[in-house]
Amino acid sequence: MGLFRLLLLGAVIAAVLLLWRRFKNRNTTAQQQPTADEPMVRCQHCRVHLPKAKAIETSQGWFCSQQHAEAGPREPR
């Protein structure tokens, strides 16, 4: 009877570990999914590249913030 309980306990522990590993791998795989490529634009003031969806467009070009849009583009290097 003691050997049967020991084998049963080992099987339960192995099953729990197997389920835990599968659950853990699903979470890390879901987090590592690549995002869709977004078009990038360059701020005309600080020259930082940022996603087009987060940029501010004016008649002078793209900017990363309202402050840079108000300041306008910098002189070319």
**Structural domain boundaries enclosing 22:** 1-33
For residues 75 and 34, which has the higher predicted lDDT (pLDDT)? 75
Coil, strand or helix at 73: coil
pTM score of the predicted model:
0.52
Residue 62 neighbours by CB under 8 Å, 6+ apart:
41, 42, 43, 44, 52, 55, 56
Residues 29 and 54 in one domain: no
pLDDT at 60 (0 to 100):
92
> Cβ of 67: how many Cβ atoms within 10 Å?
11
d(Cα 25, Cα 63) in Å, to the nearest integer? Answer: 40
Residues 29 and 1 in one domain: yes
pLDDT at residue number 29? 56
Which carries the bigger pLDDT value, residue 22 or residue 14?
Answer: 14
Residue type, 37: D
Mean pLDDT across the stretch 28-57?
83
Q: How many domains does the chain have?
A: 2
Q: Give me 18's structure tokens.
A: 């197997």
- Residue 12 within any structural domain of the chain: yes
Q: Which residue has the higher pLDDT, 5 or 37?
A: 5
